[in-house]
Amino acid sequence: MQVIRLMLATFLFVLLSPAGAQVQTVQGKATLSYQGPASTPADRILALQKAQVNAFDYYYAEAGDSESQNYASVKDQIFRDIDRYVLDTTVLSESDDVVGRKYTVVVKLALNVPNLRALMKQNSTVGSATRDQKSRLAFLFVSRSVDSVKTYDARVYKRADASAQVRATETQAGAQSDDNPGSVNSAVAAGGTGIASVEQSTATSETGGSAVRKSKETTWRIAPSADLNQIFTQVFSKAGFRVQEAALVQSAAGGKFKLEAVEEDYKSGNDLKAATLQTIVDGMRVASVPLLALGTLDLGLVDTDPQTGLYRVVVTVNARLLDLNEAIPETVASVGPTQYSGKGPTEDEARTNALKSAANSAARELASQLTSQGIH
Amino acid sequence: MLISMSRSVGAIFLACSAVAAPIAGAQQRSVAFAGFAYAGEFATREARFVNSTRYEADLRSAGATAYQRISGLITANPPRQLHLVANIDALKGADQVIVTALVVTNETTSVEQFGAFVKVLALVRAQALFFDFKSQTVLRAYPLSFAYIDTLDHVPDADEVYERYRKVFEGAGDKPGLFARYAATLASAQLPVQVPRFIQVTQVTISPEVLARIPDSFKASSTSAQSWLADLISEAISSRTGVPVLPFAPSYSVNNVMAVAVSDGDVYNLTLPHPDYAFVAALTRLKKVKYGESPAGASFIYGAYGTVTLTQPMSGREYLNTGLKNGEVKLVPAMQTYVDDFPAYFDAVNAMFAKLADAMDGKGDAWIKSAATAPDIERQIAQAKELILSCK
């Protein structure tokens, strides 16, 4: 074993499957420097293992901060039982540079994503907590589309100032008595005396003004949220939380808040009014729900996907998760604004696909951030 | 290609099909047959595939859809490594739902007048595509194509051109058509149990000198000629070695997503995987040299020159990096007043990549030793052969 150091590594990239697929492939590369005339089998095994680690590192680095933190906490467990999490390892290329004494290997791994997710969940605080120890989580998400947009013409103010100035000066040449000043513009008289005068005039004009533009006013139409509820419930439940829909919490909140007020706020703006938010917080506390996820999914206009000719809709997600245990509620996780698109043969299908994709991704990210912070 | 005076005289078929070599021990996998499909935007398929969609409509009005026609051919020549099911629903609940379709990717019509003659080309390029229905990811692709070249003494109308396309799909003489070729591909295709390795022609370049000798019909858009060459190379590799080759991404995908519209109206947006191995080629020169002459006529050598590299993109390791040349002889009778060079150049280019693929598949390296410029070509071919074997 003449391994002295593991050298650099890694250009890696995730291949194949889209998000949510059960098997994903990822490539990893490692270069190992060795002593001795050629690499030994042990060197090659070490390089292969390092390439596998690099592939995992890259996969989770691509998945975002919170996923990466969760991965860091279970990394050792993964590599203690790697066959459980890697379905297949394929060596794509290997080369042994005997002059430079470097052995390089590139591998492609097929990751068992369900097993990896299960491991993350087991090791999260919420995963190891008993049902009684788990906090209840309510979510309040609104999907909405633009109902009307009022735009204003620019208010234009224009001003023009003009001024004129005339100045005359006289000079005297030769002898001339003071009581005979002569006339303006007279020529010098024969004999060498006379008066010369110069008249100067200046005209100045200034124009200017200002234009005031007022930003557009947008009102929103609230869309049905049954699909969203289903997705949020599914994702948070799988992550180990006790999930409750806000509509059901409302009745246990002693009339502290009304969902209609929330929808009303979101019809005209991007944020809840302070008073509305406070009523929700009060209501959740009455109902003993310490975690509240809330946000909006804004549907854009429908256009045509240039590649497929299908309808396409873009959804913009803004979401945050409040911890209500503190006297002043604390935002412990947030997502967005992030955009997702959905396509379909009809406008409705495109909308539904976009909302599903956005809700799924937002819920996953929020749940992952909670897990990485040990909140349960 | 000989041209003589008659209403419809010479008919030449340039066709290849992928022959996927079966591997002993490969287990039978269930695959759903989706049918006949078109690449790209569903709404514009009739404008882009004028004759293919017309042929499909004719079949439908005659009471037998393209799906039924292909199914009949598959029944006559059933897959040996796959268990084919009639629809996707039959695989509901399975861990992986694999779907196959015959996807037409390109239709090229060329009508060129040479003196008293008119040359008609009807070319359809397609893919025998396998994809994962759940993840919407391409798993395998075997390129197919069929070119029907005819010479006439008049400019053909739309119906006459269409008749050539009918032969492209149904076959002509002893040449099986595109449907039968797809069925033959399925008959020998197999899906790997382990994670597959993907080869893709990732980049092709054509020098201005070569581009000037290619008919305008192959240059309809800025990337048409590149697409034609990439498909030709993909098909040569796939048909000669039995290795699937991913479709040429710049032509058939946007951000690596390939849209496929099946004739029953289903639309799939398939993700093309990143290639594990990248094939890059350049066509640098075409040359015509008189080889011999007699009272009966003259013979010419049509030469093609190019370069190829085969690399693993992440490691940068090169398996192949060489210049190549290939010459094909064409006899021209003394009585022939006009010689169309392009079919002979096409043969030279096609044979160059077919012979390279043969060498990579271990079918002899006599040609490659004289055709390649790399001094270590034998070592390179040995490496490439190993790689090809691992991709099957």
Which pLDDT tens digit goes with each residue over B189-209? 888 777 788 899 999 999 999
Q: Among B234, B213, B168, which Cα is nearest to B13's?
A: B168
Contact B269 A25 (CB under 8 A): no
Contact B197 A108 (CB under 8 A): yes
pTM attached to this predicted model:
0.66
Candidate from A12, A25, A309 with C-beta closest to B195: A25
Kindly tell me if the per-residue pLDDT of B271 is higher than 80: yes
**Residue B92 has what pLDDT?**
67
Q: What pLDDT digit, counting tens, does each position of B147-194 carry?
A: 898 888 888 999 999 999 999 999 888 889 999 999 999 998 888 777
Kindly tell me if the per-residue pLDDT of B273 is higher than 50: yes
Contact B317 A15 (CB under 8 A): no
Residue B27 — very low, low, confident or very high, per pLDDT cuts 50/70/90?
A: low
Candidate from B137, B254, B312 with C-beta closest to A106: B312
What is the separation, in whole angstroms, between the first and last Cα of chain A?
A: 46
Question: Which letter does DSSP use for residue B78 in this model?
Answer: -
Secondary structure of residue A374 in the 3-state scheme: coil
Beta strands in A324-355 (DSSP E): 330-344
Give CA–CA dist A142/A226, Å, rounded: 10
Residue B20 — very low, low, confident or very high, per pLDDT cuts 50/70/90?
A: very low
Give CA–CA dist B318/B381, Å, rounded: 11
Contact B137 A93 (CB under 8 A): no
CA dihedral A37, A40, A45, A47 (to 10 degrees): 0
Is the bond preceding residue A337 a cis peptide, omega within 30 degrees? yes
Contact B315 A106 (CB under 8 A): yes
Contact B312 A15 (CB under 8 A): no
| Segment B64-77 mean pLDDT | 90
Cβ atoms of B29 and B82 within 8 Å: the answer is yes
Q: Kindly list the residues of chain A whose beta carbon comes within 8 Å of any beta carbon in chain B.
A: 11-13, 15-18, 21-23, 25, 27, 29, 87-88, 90, 92-93, 95, 104-106, 108, 110, 306-310, 343, 345
More confident residue, B251 or A210: A210
Candidate from A18, A93, A308 with C-beta closest to B136: A18
Secondary structure of residue B339 in the 3-state scheme: coil
Give CA–CA dist A153/A24, Å, rounded: 52
Parts of chain A with a pLDDT under 50: 1-20, 175-192
Q: How far is A320 from chain B (nearest CA, A)?
A: 29
Tell me, what's the ipTM? Answer: 0.70
| Segment B113-141 mean pLDDT | 84
Cβ atoms of A196 and A170 within 8 Å: the answer is yes
The two three-digit tokens of residue A304, written as one number: 């045509």
Kindly tell me if the per-residue pLDDT of B214 is higher than 60: yes
Residue B309 — very low, low, confident or very high, per pLDDT cuts 50/70/90?
A: very high
Handedness of CA B372, B378, B380, B385 (dihedral sign): positive
The two three-digit tokens of residue B164, written as one number: 């050539």
| Segment B44-59 mean pLDDT | 88
Torsion-angle region of A182 (φ positive above 0: left; ψ -120 to 50: alpha; else: beta): left
**Partners of residue B315 in chain A, C-beta under 8 Å:** 29, 92-93, 95, 104-106
Cβ atoms of A161 and A206 within 8 Å: the answer is yes
What is the separation, in whole angstroms, between the first and last Cα of chain B?
A: 35
Residue B308 — very low, low, confident or very high, per pLDDT cuts 50/70/90?
A: very high
Cβ atoms of A139 and A367 within 8 Å: the answer is no
* Location of structure tokens 């050598």: B301
**Residue A66 has what pLDDT?**
67
Cβ atoms of B125 and B69 within 8 Å: the answer is no
More confident residue, A334 or B338: A334
Give the type of residue at B324: L
Q: Among A218, A221, A241, which Cα is nearest to A321's?
A: A241
Q: What pLDDT digit, counting tens, does each position of B320-333 carry?
A: 999 999 999 988 88
* Widest Cα–Cα separation across chain B: 72
Question: Which letter does DSSP use for residue A134 in this model?
Answer: S
